[in-house]
Amino acid sequence: MRRVLVMPPFGSCIPASTSPDAPAGPIAISQPVGQGQLARNLPDDVKTIQTALNQVTVNGLPGGPIPFLAVDGIEGPKTQAAIVNFQRVQVKDIPPDGVIEPGKKTILRLNALVAPLSKFDLNSKLAVTLPLVKSALAAAIENVTTVITGANGQVPVATAADRLNRHFKLDTLNASEQSAGRVNLFETYSEMALVTSRPDLFNFLGAIEAFDVDPGNAKIALTTVQGIFEPPLDGGEDNPARHIRLGLGFFAQNVTPDFAAFILLHELAHFTSRRDGQVIDDNGRGWFNDAFILPLTAGQRLLNADSYAGFAHECRTNNPARPVFVKTAPGGRGGAR
């Protein structure tokens, strides 16, 4: 059975609810809006919902408010009635409870109507992201190669070795294990790079073909472990397991090109995994010195997607500091579903 890993907006492949401080789409709120105990009704969130509901009416679609709502950030009776009406008309399979939560069906429906994602959106995002991914993978391969050969190049051997030790703890292994670890890293990063530089080897027409839009997913990404080796067709149709599916979170405003590149590096590690057949999982999430990465052994880091993304990111930027978009969270196999 296929293992699918889901990356929610805080950057982890687990089926968790949307992070309260991370948007989940072009129309995004940080806290619930509406009635009831869940609702926080932060002014900026309320304005977002008021604007989106008005746009439903502008687009000539049923369920929008008439007359338009005042976009004032106040969740008053008119806004409350508009939320309930929109849910009643447009949102199936849930009662009109009058609350809009991040990542849930009502805001997904708003996104589908008002800010639908398309291949154009995907292509635009990947146009600025894939060059960073390719550069990061090339830098990672160069660093690993430098340590394997022991020859100083653009990166001194000592610098490259220090990076490997920080992210993968290779210096805690014996000499034979260190050598095997470096070879595995070289092979894995090379496989990841081939997806973007030689997509024809995997029967893709171009690198963008490895990715797809998943507008029904409120999180960032959906990946099938070792999906690159899945058959191109499933029941005569395009096989979704052969793609890294990018959800609403990937297109949120807070996902900068650097953040997007980190996401894709993380997902590519799952998507290819290792040539020896071992699966690259989510043993811990965060930067090499974060609370849920620090305790991981070398063996666990060599099978950890954020470790691969972090090392490649540092190699590209020449900066060991944790990026602001990298959040730490526990690992585990909660992502399989």
pLDDT of residue 248: 75
User: Can you tell me the mean pLDDT for 125-140?
Assistant: 97
The whole-angstrom separation of Cα 207 and Cα 220 is 19
For residues 115-127, average pLDDT: 87
Place 214 in a pLDDT band, splitting at 50, 70 and 90.
Answer: confident
Window from 154-158, 323-327, 328-332 with minimum mean pLDDT: 328-332
Residue 323 exposed, middle or buried by CB count within 10 Å (0-12, 13-18, 19+): middle
- Dmax over CA atoms of the chain, in Å, equals 73
Q: Are 190 and 276 in contact (CB under 8 A)?
A: no
pLDDT band at 8 (very low <50, low <70, confident <90, very high): low
The residues near 165 (Cβ < 8 Å, ≥ 6 apart) are 171
Residue 33, Cβ density class (10 Å: 0-12 exposed, 13-18 middle, ≥19 buried):
buried
Q: What is the pTM of this model?
A: 0.79
Locus of tokens 């959040």: 327
β-pairing verdict for 244-246 and 237-238: unpaired
Q: What pLDDT, on the 0 to 100 scale, is given for residue 17?
A: 29
Q: Across the chain, what does the average pLDDT equal? A: 89
Which residues are bridge partners to 329 per DSSP? Answer: 285
For the domain 119-330, what is the CATH superfamily, name and number?
A: Collagenase (Catalytic Domain) (3.40.390.10)
Lowest mean pLDDT among 6-10, 115-119, 143-147, 269-273: 6-10
> How crowded is the C-beta side of 73, counted as CA atoms within 13 Å?
4
Signed CA dihedral, 64, 68, 73, 79: sign only: negative
Mean pLDDT of 276-298: 95
User: Can you tell me the distance from the alpha carbon of 267 to that of 227, in angstroms, rounded to the nearest whole number?
Assistant: 10
Range with the poorest average pLDDT among 106-120, 129-143, 262-276: 106-120
Report phi then psi at 79, rounded to 5.
-65, -40
Which of 166, 163, 170, 168 lies closest to 139, judged by CA? Answer: 163
The mean per-residue pLDDT over the stretch 167-185 comes to 97
Is the confidence at residue 15, as pLDDT, over 70? Answer: no
**In the chain, domain spans:** 27-114, 119-330
